[in-house]
Amino acid sequence: MPAGASNLGPAGPVFQSTVLPCGLTVLTERLPWLRSVTLGLAFRIGGRDDPAELAGCAHLVEHMVFKGTAELDARTIAVEAENRGAELNAFTDKEMTVFHGRFPGELQVEVTDLLARIVAAPAFDPAELAKEQGVVIEEIRSAEDDPGSKAFNLLTEACWPDTPMGWSIAGTPETVARADSASLRRLYASRYGCATGVAVATGAVDHEALCRVLEDRLGSGRAARLPARPAEPLAGPAIRVKDRPELSQVYACLALPAFSYPDPRRHALSVLNTALGGGVSSRLFQRLREQEGLVYSVSSFTDLFEDSGLLGVFFVAERARLERCLAVLGEELDRVRRDRFDAEEFERARTMARSSVMIGLESPVGRMLRMARTHHLLGRVVPVEETLDAYARLEPGDVNRLAGELLTDGFRIGAVGPVAAEDFRSLAG
């Protein structure tokens, strides 16, 4: 994306883009009404890129980057960040790892230098690794104990069985315990570098100063390459259940195949998701909760990746009400397929979907992540105006056609509670 101002005028955001000599793309969005900077170093490496014997290693690497370099231990990193009013953090998802911080604009150079030093040369100290392996294993066990988290993990296993997309991002206690400093160091050196990442900053950012610091700290770094990422299409309908008889409720995640993030129908899918279960006026909320009082919590969701995607439903219900919940869910999907959404319902859902985009723009972290994700998945940063225009061009027929294509029988299902796979057979096809 070429440097230059957006069409919002001199008081609006100003975008700039530079590819450094080291190969790192630097994207900035100056927001003159902010005094802080949000900076992210986003690598196109995620849980789906983990080797089988080291499932969870991308997530473990993310933890270890903050555990010190040869010159800085973990406490010194924390103290130096907070001395500058900076909040540093990181996350790993299926397809991306992001190290990020938010800090006062006048301290941009100092905090950028600190974050770049950390990312450039983590030590992977064996003693620190042993401690962090224990922390991550506790994180895994907490997710296993949480019925909602476990249901989502079971859903991904049902969608992508025995493949990296289906694994928990955190791995298993066994694969995490198996990792050693040497293997993590080799993986980091080969995968995390200027050519596999993008630096994105929003707020009171000085683009040229940011480029100078990043080139200085990262320019002599590793010649990293993206790992091979084979396409992983969804498997056929399947059910994964964790029987927990001590629970009184069933936590259920059900999903149907959608399409990948680059598909231009993603805006119509967002409206469909909103109308189906994305708000309190949605079909599923009104029917399951307001009309029949079957559940406290019900919602729909989408999850789009480089080469596949999901449209799903999540609800929590008393065991005695599960059969009725599933019957009503099936009825509502049939009603959408048969009667479709009318113009009023479509317009309300479209307004909510567009509103979600605009409200998200009020978060500097959200703006940074939006730029990083579209850069990695689309090869460019999508202007906000382009996204809003895409919603404006939608018509009811676009959403209704998509509903007819996607809302079919044959759910992939993950569930936790006093339940068996047979309880969901009617929706699995």
Rounded to 10 deg, the angle between the 181-191 and 57-65 helix axes is: 90
Alpha carbon distance 88, 111 (integer Å): 9
Alpha carbon distance 119, 217 (integer Å): 9
Strand order in the sheet with 249-257: 238-243, 412-417, 249-257, 309-318, 295-304
With tokens 């100056």, the residue in question is 30
Strand order in the sheet with 87-92: 4-5, 14-19, 25-30, 197-203, 36-43, 97-104, 87-92
Task: Write down the catalytic residue from 62, 157, 232, 332.
Answer: 62
Distance of CA 176 to the CA centre of its chain: 22
Distances from the Cα of 127 to the Cα of 64, 110, 133, 302, angstroms: 11, 28, 10, 40
3 state SS of 243 = strand
3 state SS of 342 = coil
Distances from the Cα of 218 to the Cα of 64, 76, 111, 126, 239, angstroms: 18, 21, 14, 24, 46
Whether residue 62 lies in the annotated active site: yes
With tokens 């964790």, the residue in question is 242
Q: Which residues are catalytic?
A: 62
